[in-house]
Amino acid sequence: MKIADKTVAQFHYVLKNEAGETLESSQGNEPLAYLHGANNTLAGLEKALTDKEAGDKFSVTLQPEDAYGERQENLVERVPVKHLQGLPSKNAKWKAGMIAVVHTEQGQRQVTVVKTGKFMVTVDINPPLAGKILTFDVEVLDVRAATDEEVEHGHAHGVGGHQH
């Protein structure tokens, strides 16, 4: 079966920056599963996955506009420090340059700490990978038809997908 709209594909990926350094990898973890054609993954990655089948391996390099968008200057917000999550350990303190997770009405998003204060922290709300040229090495593991429920929810269920 080929990847197309209303299919769920499982894949492993290694994400590299322009210098070839690995930024993220799903190897050793669960593969990622997504519902094709539902804006579940980056536009450029979804396009490259179209028509691929289980066992296919490929690399795709995405310009920022096909990945996380261009970086916008001065896209900063002040948020209460207690709203930041993701400290590496309980006694660690937020420092400039660290990446934190904040919960918004649109769901979780990653932000970069710019400046810390006692109660408020200034964060850059650009996605951390905005403005970067990214290469994905992808291995497609499985392709199957989506269930009616997955199509209705707009996301994949099961291993690597949305857990309810």
Pick between residue 124 and residue 150 the one whose CB is nearest to Zn ion.
150
Cα torsion for 7, 12, 17, 18, to the nearest 10°? -80
Pick between residue 6 and residue 162 the one whose CB is nearest to Zn ion.
162
Pick between residue 2 and residue 162 the one whose CB is nearest to Zn ion.
162
The site string for Zn ion over 15-44 (x = CB under 5 A, - otherwise) reads ------------------------------
Q: What is the spatial distance between Cα 102 and Cα 152, in angstroms, rounded to a whole number?
A: 27
Pick between residue 109 and residue 162 the one whose CB is nearest to Zn ion.
162
Q: What is the spatial distance between Cα 158 and Cα 35, in angstroms, rounded to a whole number?
A: 11
- Residues 36, 1 contacting (CB under 8 angstroms): no
Site residues (CB under 5 A) for Zn ion, limited to 85-104: none
Q: What is the spatial distance between Cα 122 and Cα 111, in angstroms, rounded to a whole number?
A: 10
Site residues (CB under 5 A) for Zn ion, limited to 126-155: 153
Shortest reach from residue 158's CB to Zn ion, in Å: 10
Shortest reach from residue 74's CB to Zn ion, in Å: 37
Q: Which residue is nearest to Zn ion (CB)?
A: 153
Determine the size of the site formed for Zn ion (CB under 5 A): 2
Cα distance between the two ends of the chain:
26
Q: Count other Cβ atoms within 10 Å, centred on residue 135.
A: 16
Shortest reach from residue 9's CB to Zn ion, in Å: 16
Q: What is the spatial distance between Cα 59 and Cα 138, in angstroms, rounded to a whole number?
A: 6
Shortest reach from residue 161's CB to Zn ion, in Å: 8
Pick between residue 79 and residue 151 the one whose CB is nearest to Zn ion.
151
Shortest reach from residue 68's CB to Zn ion, in Å: 24
What does the buried/exposed string (b/e) look like for 18-56 if buried means 16 or more CB atoms within 10 Å of the residue's CB?
Answer: eeeeeeeebeeeebbbbbbbbebbbebbbebbeebebeb
Binding site for Zn ion (CB under 5 A): 153, 162
